[in-house]
Amino acid sequence: MTKTKDAIYAAPLQEMIDFKFDERVVAVFPDMIQRSVPGYGMIISNIGILAGKYAQPGSHCYDLGCSLGAATLAMRQRINQPDCDIIAVDNSPAMIERGRELLARDSGPTVPVTMVCADLQDVAIGNASVVVLNFTLQFIPPAQRLALIERIHAGLNPGGILILSEKIAFDEPERQQFHVELHHDFKRANGYSDLEISQKRSALENVMIPETLACHHERLKAAGFSSSEVWFQCFNFASLVATK
Ligand SMILES: Nc1ncnc2c1ncn2[C@@H]1O[C@H](C[S@+](CC[C@H]([NH3+])C(=O)[O-])CC(=O)[O-])[C@@H](O)[C@H]1O
Ligand SMILES: O=C(O)C(=O)Cc1ccccc1
């Protein structure tokens, strides 16, 4: 599949509008996320590996904030347990519409997938073995995050896991600057201009709120997870696996 190039922030904008997962973003999303998130492809394939290891027979796997379903498709390739299914949720109608087309083209594995257009806060989570929040929690208002993580913990079976990937922040200003500059260098090396980088940064400012790794570990512990481990980090992007 040829990817449509992301040029959403290439021209100067008169007025900065908050970032939204609309049709324009959907049309360029695979290119945008690959050129913007260091290690995205590796994270997706390893979500498949983790799901292959932790999916339990007769349980549900959830992909919350699934976008076009990249993590869902990776899990589907790797899950080899009877009576397992995947519930993929996103509240962007444009994402789900395109995600369903891509899912219909996916051949081979038989793990059933249901793609739901809904606010993940309204979706019941139960009999779960694997729950994925791949760069989604950062878009949930911080005041709602603990209750969501508690609800995920409550819906997981013993031995189940939460895979949590996030852009992260650093308390120390020098460390914050170090990682942000390297992330911007990564974006520049992938063809984004300084204008694109700065306009997108402004558009994301009120919408995407990163937290420190310490904050994530503490919240996971407070929600009842017995352990949380960083299994991937590149610059200010990390992925954790938390075990019930
Ligand atoms: N309350 C909500 N309910 C449901 N969906 C939501 C909500 N808030 C945001 N979203 C959805 O969360 C997704 C975040 S992108 C995830 C990438 C994907 N996981 C991937 O593995 O490619 C991350 C990024 O683009 O940085 C978007 O599709 C939103 O519509
Ligand atoms: O582009 C960025 O700067 C990011 O932090 C990652 C991202 C990727 C895709 C949509 C929104 C944010």
E strand spans, the chain = 60-64, 85-90, 113-117, 128-134, 156-169, 211-212, 227-234, 237-243
User: What does each C-alpha distance from 3 to 69, 101, 200 come to in angstroms?
Assistant: 16, 15, 20
What is the percent of the chain with per-residue pLDDT over 70, rounded to a whole number? 99
Section 193-209 average pLDDT: 97
Strand partners, 90: 117
For residue 1, is pLDDT > 70? no
What residue ranges line ligand 2, CB within 6 angstroms? 32-33, 36-37, 167, 200, 204
DSSP H or E segment with residue 43:
helix 40-54
The token duo for 7 is 């040029």
User: What does each C-alpha distance from 33 to 12, 25, 68, 151, 239 come to in angstroms?
Assistant: 21, 10, 11, 28, 15
Strand partners, 131: 62, 162
pLDDT in the model for residue 21: 97
ipTM of the complex: 0.98
Residue 40 marked as a ligand binder? yes
Section 168-192 average pLDDT: 98
The token duo for 194 is 């300084």
Query: 36 alpha carbon to ligand 2 midpoint, in Å?
Result: 6
Q: Specify the ligand 2 atom closest to the Cα of 37.
A: 6
For residue 108, is pLDDT > 90? no
pLDDT, tens digit (0-9, with 9 covering 90-100), for 210-242? 999 999 999 999 999 999 999 999 999 999 999
The token duo for 52 is 């292959």
Residue 201 marked as a ligand binder? yes
Confidence of residue 146 (pLDDT cuts 50, 70, 90): very high
185, 194, 235, 190: which is closest to 213 by C-alpha? 235
Pocket test for ligand 1, best of 62, 90, 130 (most atoms within 8 A of CB): 90
Query: 138 alpha carbon to ligand 1 midpoint, in Å?
Result: 9
pLDDT in the model for residue 107: 82
Which residue, by CA, sits nearest to atom 9 of ligand 2? Answer: 33
Which residue, by CA, sits nearest to atom 10 of ligand 2? Answer: 33
Q: Which amino acid, 149? A: I
The token duo for 12 is 């100067």
Q: Which residue has the tokens 């699934």?
A: 66
Residue 127 marked as a ligand binder? no
For residue 180, is pLDDT > 70? yes
SS3 118: coil
Query: 223 alpha carbon to ligand 1 midpoint, in Å?
Result: 22
Determine whether the shortest distance from the Cβ of 43 to ligand 1 is under 6 A. Answer: no
Average pLDDT of the chain? 97
87 and 111 Cβ atoms separated by less than 8 Å: no
